[in-house]
Amino acid sequence: MKRWALLAVAVMVAIVASQFPAYRQQYLQRLGGALDEVARQVEALDARADAAGLGRYPYLRRLMDNPDPIVVQEGEALVALVGRKTRLEQAIAAVEAAPVYLQAVQVLFHLERDAAAASLRAFEPALPLSVSGGFHAFLGFFLGWLLPQGVRRLFPRREVVDG
The pLDDT of residue 44? 97
**Domain-located, residue 157:** no
pLDDT at 97: 93
Q: Give me the number of domains the chain comprises.
A: 1
26 assigned to some structural domain:
yes
Residue 82 domain-assigned (yes or no): yes
- The pLDDT score that the predictor gives to residue 7 is 75
8 A C-beta contact, residue 12 and residue 144: yes
Q: What local confidence, expressed as pLDDT, does residue 130 receive?
A: 67
pTM higher than the cut 0.85: no
Within-domain flag for 28: yes
pLDDT at 4: 77
Is residue 162 included in any domain, yes or no? no
d(CA 66, CA 43): 22
Question: Which regions in the chain score pLDDT beneath 50?
Answer: 1
Report helix, strand and coil shares of the chain as percent, to nearest 5. 80, 0, 20
- pLDDT value for 160: 62
pLDDT of residue 84: 95
Is residue 46 classed as helix, strand or coil in its secondary structure? helix
Residue ranges making up the domain that contains 22 = 8-148
